[in-house]
Amino acid sequence: MNGVVNKKMKLAFCVKGSDFPLSLDDRFGRSDKFCIVESRTGERLKMVENTMKDLSGSAGVGVVQLLFEEGVEGIVAPHLGPTAEDARNKVNMKLWDQGDSKNVDDALYSWEEGNLKEITGDDKSQGMYRA
């Protein structure tokens, strides 16, 4: 475990549906929407529709660009595909695997406690899982 995270950061979570608690999607590029949260306060800043989910290819790359334009600094998600991972690295956006979290509140708490695995550019274990 990484220890408690104490950095203010704009985080994005992959979300499906609109019911509370907000359920995490197990897809990144094809998720329904993203919940953007200010990490220090837990304030939900914005819900962003995933306008890239119906693209025939490279939806994950489009999502990285969409989140970057929203000022997101970190993503809590399932694994990204290789092209989305490359795009994420190019804009210096951090990534944490959402692990077994089922909703945004649980994932944010796990992130704050340092219990989510950070995926780095050197981590070759990701790939096309659930991209």
Residue 129 has pLDDT above 50, yes or no: no
Count the domains in the chain.
Answer: 1
Task: Take residue 10 and report the two structure tokens written for it.
Answer: 């704009």
Section 95-124 average pLDDT: 90
Residue 125 falls within a domain, yes or no? no
Residue 16 domain flag: yes
The C-alpha atoms of residue 33 and residue 48 are separated, in whole angstroms, by: 5
Q: Which residue type does 115 have?
A: N
Q: Is residue 50 part of a domain?
A: yes
For the chain, the C-alpha Rg in angstroms (whole number) is 13
Report the percentage of the chain scoring pLDDT > 90: 74
pLDDT of residue 28: 96
pTM score, two decimals? 0.87
Q: What is the structure's pLDDT at 117?
A: 95
**Within-domain flag for 126:** no
103-120 average pLDDT score: 94
Domain assignment of residue 38, given as a range: 10-119
Q: Find the CATH number of the domain harbouring 80.
A: 3.30.420.130
- Considering the domain boundaries, does residue 128 fall inside one? no
Q: Residue 62: is its pLDDT beyond 90? A: yes
